[in-house]
C-alpha cells in the first residue's frame, strides 16, 4: 500500500494519543514493563499501576532482587499472573546473563521469559530504532482490513502473511520507528477499532486509508478479522474457609501454574462445574473436601461456622461462585499441609491476593489491620 507509513506518521502528529507515561521513552526497562502490563489489560487500568510499580521497582536490578511475593502483591488485580512471574524471571535473567542491560535485537529479546515476538519488536523499535514491525491485536486488525484478509488470523498461514505485510509497510528511515510503532498502536485503538470503527460512521472521515482499504471497498470491515465462535463459559462453584485465630488468618499459597498461580488465597474446596447459575445454592460442601489442605481436631467448628452468600467472580473462560465459611479456631485445633500458613492480619496488605479474596477481606475490614 503506497505511503502507508507516511500517512500514519502524519496522522499521529495531530491525532495520536498523548500524555501516556510510557510514551517517548528510550529506557527498555520502562518500555518492557508497559508492554507486558498492556497485554490483556486496558490502558486506563495500567496507567496508575505502571507508575506505582516503577516507584517500588525503578529498574531491572531492583525487580530482579525483589522476592517474588512482593512482585505478586503489586501485580494483584491486574490478572494473568503468569505475566508477573515471567516479569520477575526475565529481570533475573537480564541481570545474570546481560549484566543488567537489555539486549537490542528482537531475536535476543524474544528468548527472554514472557517476551513474545511482537513485544520483542516493540522494545527494539522504541528503544533502539530497530526496523521491525509489531503485530499486536490492533495492528493485526488494521493490516487485515486494509489488505482484505478474510481468513482466520489464528492460523499459521494468515499470521505469517501478516508479518510479511507488516514488515513491508515500515518507514525507510529507521529514526522514525518509535513514532511509527506508537502510531500503529494508537490508530488501531482509536480509529480502526474492533467495533464502531471510524469508517462506519457516516459523519466521520477520520480514517486516512479510506481510499485504499480493501475491506472498506468490499463492505467487509466488520467481518474482519474473522470472528471465531466462542465456547460458552463454564460455571464452577467452591467454598472458601475464612479461618481465624485471633490476629491470624490461615491462607493457602497457590501453585505457580494455573489460576491465581503464586498468589495467597483462602483454603478452598476443589471447583465443581455446574450446568447453570440456578444450581449454585444446591451444592453442598463438607469439611472432608478440605482434607487435602487441612484437618480440624474439632470438626464441629466447621459446622458451626457462619456461611456467607456466594460471591461471583468472572474469569475470561469461566465464572466462579464461591461461598465463604467463617470459622474461629485455635491454631492447636488445626493441622495443615505445607501449602497453608498462618498469616498475621497486619501482613495481609503486603502479600499477593486474588481480587475476590482481597475484596472479601476488605469487606470484613481485615486488610490493613494492625
pLDDT tens-digit profile of 210-226? 999 999 999 999 999 98
Give the H/E segment covering residue 341: strand 340-344
Residue 193 CB neighbours (<10 A): 15
pLDDT at 205: 67
- Looking at the predicted structure, is the pLDDT value of residue 203 above 90? no
Using DSSP's 3-state secondary structure scheme, residue 248 falls into strand
pLDDT at 370: 38
Which of 35, 239, 252, 268 is the catalytic position? Answer: 35
Class of domain 234-363: alpha beta
Strand partners of residue 318: 234
pLDDT at 92: 97
Q: Where do the CATH 1.10.340.30 domains begin and end in the chain?
A: 4-223
The stretch 323-350 carries a mean pLDDT of 91
Give the pLDDT band (50/70/90) at residue 13: very high
Whether 35 is catalytic is yes
Using DSSP's 3-state secondary structure scheme, residue 267 falls into coil
Can you tell me the distance from the alpha carbon of 121 to that of 38, in angstroms, rounded to the nearest whole number? 15
- Looking at the predicted structure, is the pLDDT value of residue 369 above 60? no
- Looking at the predicted structure, is the pLDDT value of residue 368 above 60? no
- State the pairing for strand pair 234-245/272-274: antiparallel
| Exposed/middle/buried for residue 93 (C-beta within 10 Å: 0-12, 13-18, 19+) | middle
The stretch 84-91 carries a mean pLDDT of 96
- Looking at the predicted structure, is the pLDDT value of residue 281 above 90? no
Can you tell me the distance from the alpha carbon of 354 to that of 75, in angstroms, rounded to the nearest whole number? 10
Using DSSP's 3-state secondary structure scheme, residue 295 falls into strand
Using the structure block, give the residue that is written with the C-alpha cell 543488567.
100
The stretch 262-285 carries a mean pLDDT of 92
pLDDT at 264: 94
Three cell numbers written together for 321: 461462585
CATH topology of domain 4-223: Endonuclease III; domain 1 (1.10.340)
The stretch 60-77 carries a mean pLDDT of 93
pLDDT at 367: 65
pTM for the full predicted model: 0.82
User: Among candidates 167, 162, 194, which has minimal Cα distance to 4?
Assistant: 167
Taking all residues of the chain, what is their mean pLDDT, rounded to a whole number?
A: 91
The tens digit of pLDDT for each residue in 152-191 reads: 888 888 889 999 999 999 999 999 999 999 999 999 999 9
Q: Where do the CATH 3.90.79.10 domains begin and end in the chain?
A: 234-363
Amino acid at each position: 500500500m503506497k505511503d502507508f507509513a507516511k500517512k500514519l506518521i502524519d496522522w499521529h502528529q495531530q491525532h495520536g494519543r498523548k500524555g501516556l507515561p510510557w510514551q517517548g521513552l528510550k529506557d527498555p526497562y520502562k518500555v518492557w514493563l508497559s508492554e507486558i502490563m498492556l497485554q490483556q489489560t486496558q490502558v486506563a487500568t495500567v496507567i496508575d499501576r505502571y507508575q506505582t510499580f516503577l516507584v517500588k521497582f525503578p529498574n531491572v536490578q531492583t525487580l530482579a532482587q525483589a522476592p517474588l511475593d512482593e512482585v505478586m502483591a503489586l501485580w494483584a488485580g491486574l490478572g494473568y499472573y503468569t505475566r508477573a512471574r515471567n516479569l520477575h524471571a526475565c529481570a533475573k535473567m537480564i541481570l545474570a546473563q546481560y549484566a543488567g542491560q537489555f539486549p537490542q535485537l528482537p531475536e535476543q529479546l524474544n528468548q527472554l521469559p514472557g517476551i513474545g515476538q511482537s513485544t520483542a519488536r516493540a522494545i527494539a523499535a522504541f528503544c533502539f530504532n530497530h526496523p521491525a514491525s509489531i503485530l499486536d491485536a490492533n495492528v493485526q486488525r488494521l493490516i487485515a482490513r486494509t489488505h482484505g484478509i478474510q481468513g482466520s488470523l489464528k492460523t499459521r498461514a494468515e499470521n505469517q502473511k501478516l508479518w510479511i505485510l507488516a514488515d513491508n509497510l515500515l518507514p525507510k528511515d529507521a529514526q522514525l520507528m518509535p513514532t511509527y510503532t506508537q502510531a500503529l498502536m494508537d490508530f488501531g485503538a482509536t480509529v480502526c477499532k474492533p467495533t464502531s470503527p471510524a469508517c462506519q460512521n457516516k459523519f466521520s472521515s477520520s480514517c486516512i486509508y479510506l481510499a485504499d482499504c480493501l475491506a472498506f471497498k468490499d463492505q467487509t470491515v466488520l467481518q474482519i478479522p474473522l470472528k471465531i465462535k466462542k465456547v460458552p463459559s463454564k460455571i464452577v462453584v467452591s467454598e472458601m474457609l475464612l479461618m481465624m485465630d485471633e490476629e491470624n488468618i490461615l491462607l493457602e499459597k497457590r501453585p505457580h501454574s494455573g489460576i491465581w498461580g503464586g498468589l495467597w488465597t483462602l483454603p478452598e474446596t476443589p471447583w465443581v462445574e455446574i450446568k447453570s447459575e440456578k444450581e449454585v445454592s444446591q451444592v453442598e460442601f463438607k469439611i472432608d473436601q478440605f482434607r487435602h489442605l487441612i484437618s480440624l481436631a474439632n470438626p464441629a467448628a466447621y459446622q458451626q461456622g457462619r456461611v456467607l452468600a456466594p460471591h461471583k467472580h468472572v474469569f475470561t473462560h469461566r465464572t466462579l461462585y464461591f461461598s465463604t465459611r467463617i470459622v474461629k479456631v485455635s491454631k492447636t485445633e488445626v493441622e495443615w499441609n505445607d501449602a497453608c500458613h498462618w498469616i498475621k492480619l497486619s501482613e495481609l496488605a503486603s502479600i499477593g491476593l486474588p481480587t475476590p479474596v482481597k475484596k472479601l477481606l476488605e469487606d470484613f475490614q481485615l486488610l490493613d489491620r494492625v
